Amino acid sequence: MDMSLKQLFEPRHVALLGVSRRRDKAGYRFLKYLQDGGFPGTISLLGTEEGEMEGCRIYADPADLPRGIDLAFSMLGAEATMKTLPEVAAQGLGVAIVFTAGFAEMGGEGVAAQRELVRQCNALGTRIVGPNCMGMFNLPKQLNISRAKVARGGIGLISQSGNVGITLWDQSPLLDAGFSTFISFGNQADIGVHEYIAHMGDDPETGVIAAYIEGLQPGSGPAFLETCARVSRRKPIVILKGGRASAGRRATLSHTASLSSSERIFSALLREAGVIEVKHLEHLLPVAQTLLLCPPMRGDNVAIVGSGGGHSIMFTDEIEAVGLQVPSFSSGLQAELRKRLPPYAPVGNPLDMTGGFDADPSVFTRLTELVMTSDTGFDGAVNFGLYGNWPLQPGAPYDYATAAPLAGELQRKLGKPIIYYTPFAIRTHESFTALRASGVPCFDDLSIAATAVAALRLHGANLDRAPDSAPPVPAEPKAGADHAGLTTEDDVYRLLASYGVAVPKTVVATTVEDAIAAAEAIGFPVVIKAVLPGVLHKSDVGGVVLGIGDASSVRAAVKAIETSVEAKLGSQALTGYLVTRDLGRQREFFFGVRRDATLGTVGLLGLGGVLVEALDDVAVCMLPATPEAVTRALGRLKGRDYFGAVRGQLPVPPEGIATLLNQLNAALLSNARIESIECNPTMLTSEGLAPVDAAVSKMPETAVSLPIAAQ
């Protein structure tokens, strides 16, 4: 365990900085939070004058504080923080939580002040949480430096926003949910979110990690994804990402000074790292609690059992909407159900018992057990109906609370998840508390219940995923290579060829006669493209002519290119003609790599040509790519079948895609000015994948505008 995070979450000595003896001030409130929580360690206080408060000594000079304080919580203003916190750090402080705002989220001087604060404190061995954050707690260690009054449980909560944390605390009683630890990290000036995830991954009191984040530290993406991939194989991680829309990103900058990466890329890589992402705040806590209570789901088939025709239809819709299956029950099972239910009861899947539970609410569990043990191909079950508040008949052998443990026992017996929906669960009641205490989640919202089931399936798929093979070894970036220019397609081809990419043979001609000679040497049919330095999409200006079969057609193509380019860009834009072999009408694919300020580099793949933009269907692949990662990325495409054996054509081999992406990545990394490389279109020939167009986008010039729809 990182020593600084042990000092943060398990301190023996806590100091509160910026206290006053007045009981209406924050210093007194946070002292009471600590004491009322039963903190067993030492508490020291730093204020403007010496004295004592609630049995704790107040120091006026940081130099007089005891040495070896593990954790300091600073309520000082921004200016006082800059002066005082380094003085406290000089006393051997482990970690400081800077509660105060007024730093990088303010921009300008605030950014510089925050950097300087971190620099000074780190140099003295002190790590920083925040600034601009809400506090923390570790309930198993009786540590609470926050206003939270929540039940203890197995959810570890990480939130960039303090108010989001407060919202989830207030929601938790409605779900009978409890927390182990909480940290609000605000501006994330020093300790990265992946460090908190790593700590909670090792914390035996935390069974599931829930996080709200708005951004990562620049360059920390690879460490974040590696941490998530490692931890998610041991315990579930649920993340809600804020700042997905452009207006949201502006709010993020003003709120916590974090820059968001492309949200679709981020979502795809979260899933690749085994993280369950939710899109709504109202889903974060229910999904986390479900993952804590239930076993993972190891397949897609869901049995739906309950009472109420309307609810059964809508629940089926919701389950299928999240990508799961509701297959029919076997004929044998349906025959058994008919023996137990009225003749008018629908006994397919969903099963509607059409009432009767008011005589014995345990019928929900008994019918679910019959379904799950008779048709063993079901991977999970959901129950629905007016459970928990519908009047029971006199003499019923169970009430809703005493029937609840039967559902939990069945879940443990099956090793498969069971989730309840009832509209009455919007309120707190012993019936729902008993269900959750038995290990069965219970929700008042069909969409949330279905989302929770889908999360269990994602978690199960992640646990069952075999380790990837080693990536095809990419060429290493060539130190000192001269890649100046890269203004034309031919320049890009030479770069890619130096990294092993099977680029086509090309000849650059400056006259029509040279173009005819090049075409005859290459062999008809050929393609002629305008050489337009700095222009990424030559076809947009009439700079590409296909299917040229003879010398006269070369003349006509050159004339057409000259006329179109001159009309759209001016005659000075055209510097020559690139001649290459025409591979004919083949499937066109898109492959590319791009830099991301947070995530490092990522690979992109999808349908090629104009379809890449028209269909908005591109998947993301982590780099270096493996065949397995490519296969998963292809599976996220709406047009995934296009990569298969279409109409007798060979499937595109994932190994070949992984190799090409890694070669492109090595070429990109060879020059810090290259922002992205795209090969569009790329075709599949008998020799393998062959780019027939390639372009480089460089910084600080505007990058390639590519709609990225990572699934």
User: Tell me, what's the pLDDT at 260?
Assistant: 34
Q: How far apart are CA 112 and CA 70, in angstroms?
A: 26
Structure tokens at 228: 């998530």
Q: State pLDDT tens for residues 355-397.
A: 999 999 999 999 999 999 999 999 999 999 999 999 999 999 9
245: confidence class by pLDDT, cuts 50, 70, 90:
low
Structure tokens at 487: 């203004």
User: Tell me, what's the pLDDT at 188?
Assistant: 95
Residues 95-123, mean pLDDT to the nearest whole number: 94
What element of type H or E holds 690?
strand 688-691
Identify residue 424 by its one-letter amino acid code: F
Which residues does 572 contact at the CB level (< 8 Å), separation at least 6? none
708: confidence class by pLDDT, cuts 50, 70, 90:
very low
User: Tell me, what's the pLDDT at 631?
Assistant: 96
Residues 31-52, mean pLDDT to the nearest whole number: 95
User: Tell me, what's the pLDDT at 457?
Assistant: 98
Identify whether the C-beta of residue 216 lies closer than 8 Å to the C-beta of residue 134: no
User: Tell me, what's the pLDDT at 428?
Assistant: 93
Q: Is 686 exposed, middle or buried (0-12, 13-18, 19+ CB in 10 A)?
A: exposed
Q: How far apart are CA 182 and CA 184, in angstroms?
A: 7
Q: State pLDDT tens for residues 574-609.
A: 999 999 988 877 889 999 999 888 888 999 999 988
In sequence order, what are the beta bridge partners of 545?
Answer: 528
In sequence order, what are the beta bridge partners of 301?
Answer: 325
User: Tell me, what's the pLDDT at 479?
Assistant: 64
238: confidence class by pLDDT, cuts 50, 70, 90:
very high
Q: Is the peptide bond before 525 cis (omega within 30 degrees of 0)?
A: yes
| DSSP character string of 527-562 | EEEEE-TT-S-GGGGT-EEEEE-SHHHHHHHHHHHH
Domains in the chain and their CATH numbers? Answer: 3-129 (3.40.50.720), 148-293 (3.40.50.261), 302-464 (3.40.50.261), 505-581 (3.30.1490.20), 589-698 (3.30.470.20)
User: Tell me, what's the pLDDT at 706?
Assistant: 32
Is the per-residue pLDDT at 47 higher than 60? yes
Write the secondary structure of 35-88 as one string of H (helix), E (strand) and C (coil).
HHCCCCCEEEEEECCCEEECCEEEECCHHHCCCCCCEEEECCCHHHHHHHHHHH
In sequence order, what are the beta bridge partners of 240?
Answer: 212, 278
Share of the chain above pLDDT 70, in %: 95
Identify residue 141 by its one-letter amino acid code: K
Q: How far apart are CA 322 and CA 264, in angstroms?
A: 18
Residues 79-97, mean pLDDT to the nearest whole number: 97
Between strands 526-531 and 544-548, the pairing is antiparallel
User: Tell me, what's the pLDDT at 483?
Assistant: 56
Q: How far apart are CA 55 and CA 71, in angstroms?
A: 19
Is the per-residue pLDDT at 79 higher than 90? yes
Q: How far apart are CA 695 and CA 706, in angstroms?
A: 13
Which residues does 606 contact at the CB level (< 8 Å), separation at least 6? 589, 590, 612, 615, 617, 618, 619, 637, 639
Q: What 8-state DSSP symbol labels residue 325?
A: B
Q: Indicate whether this model's pTM tops 0.95.
A: no
Q: How far apart are CA 71 and CA 17, in angstroms?
A: 11
Identify whether the C-beta of residue 456 lies closer than 8 Å to the C-beta of residue 380: yes
Helices (H), 597-704: 611-614, 627-635, 654-669
Helices (H), 354-418: 363-374, 400-414
In 3D, which of 8, 225, 274 has the Cα closest to residue 126?
8
Residues 431-453, mean pLDDT to the nearest whole number: 98
Q: If you average pLDDT over every residue of the chain, what do you get?
A: 91
Identify whether the C-beta of residue 196 lies closer than 8 Å to the C-beta of residue 185: yes
Identify whether the C-beta of residue 637 lies closer than 8 Å to the C-beta of residue 619: yes
Out of 295-299, 512-516, 613-617, 685-689, give the one with best mean pLDDT: 295-299
Distances (CA, A) of 432 to 366, 383, 412: 18, 13, 18
- Dihedral of CA atoms 598, 599, 604, 610 in degrees, nearest 10, equals -10
536: confidence class by pLDDT, cuts 50, 70, 90:
confident
Is the per-residue pLDDT at 261 higher than 50? no
Share of the chain above pLDDT 90, in %: 78
Q: How far apart are CA 273 and CA 270, in angstroms?
A: 5
Helices (H), 207-262: 221-231, 246-256
User: Tell me, what's the pLDDT at 478?
Assistant: 75
Q: Of residues 649 and 528, which shows the higher confidence score? A: 528
Residues 680-699, mean pLDDT to the nearest whole number: 88
Is the per-residue pLDDT at 248 higher than 50? no
Q: How far apart are CA 348 and CA 297, in angstroms?
A: 22
Query: Vertex 476, ends 473 and 478: CA angle to 5°?
Result: 160
In sequence order, what are the beta bridge partners of 352?
Answer: 306
Q: Is the peptide bond before 624 cis (omega within 30 degrees of 0)?
A: yes
User: Tell me, what's the pLDDT at 143?
Assistant: 98
Q: How far apart are CA 378 and CA 301, in angstroms?
A: 5
Q: How many residues does the chain have?
A: 711
Write the secondary structure of 137-155 as one string of H (helix), E (strand) and C (coil).
EEHHHCEEECCCCCCEEEE
User: Tell me, what's the pLDDT at 500?
Assistant: 92
Which residues does 227 contact at the CB level (< 8 Å), separation at least 6? 194, 195, 197, 198, 201
Identify whether the C-beta of residue 417 lies closer than 8 Å to the C-beta of residue 297: yes
Between strands 237-241 and 276-278, the pairing is parallel
268 phi and psi, to 5 degrees?
-65, -40
709: confidence class by pLDDT, cuts 50, 70, 90:
very low
Q: State pLDDT tens for residues 603-652.
A: 999 998 877 777 778 899 999 999 999 999 999 999 999 999 877 788 99
User: Tell me, what's the pLDDT at 266?
Assistant: 87
Q: State pLDDT tens for residues 473-492.
A: 877 787 655 556 687 888 89
Q: How far apart are CA 274 and CA 602, in angstroms?
A: 17
Is the per-residue pLDDT at 252 higher than 90? no
Q: Is 464 exposed, middle or buried (0-12, 13-18, 19+ CB in 10 A)?
A: exposed
In 3D, which of 613, 549, 618, 628 has the Cα closest to residue 581?
549
Q: State pLDDT tens for residues 388-426.
A: 999 999 999 999 999 999 999 999 999 999 999 999 999
Identify whether the C-beta of residue 448 lies closer than 8 Å to the C-beta of residue 280: no
